[in-house]
Amino acid sequence: MVTFLYSGSSPNYEIVAVASRREEYGKQLANEFGIPHVFREPAELIGHPNVNLVVVLPPAPQHAALVRAATAAGKDV
């Protein structure tokens, strides 16, 4: 599962974090795109204070729960 978190407003946004249960993959994305924060748990990513928009891209069975968690945290999804 990979989730990107964006901070800022469109069209000028900044990717501030990525979450992946596969830690090496998360680090690879962070290095490739200059993303400053890498998390293994989506909850940590959702709780990041500089995030105002969450793009949720997990397998289908996990999607609804992550969308609910992000909206409950006051994030745009």
* Topology classification of domain 2-72: Rossmann fold (3.40.50)
Residue ranges for the chain with pLDDT beneath 70: 1-12
pLDDT for the residue 50:
87
Q: Global pTM?
A: 0.75
Distances (CA, A) of 31 to 2, 4, 12, 54: 15, 14, 21, 20
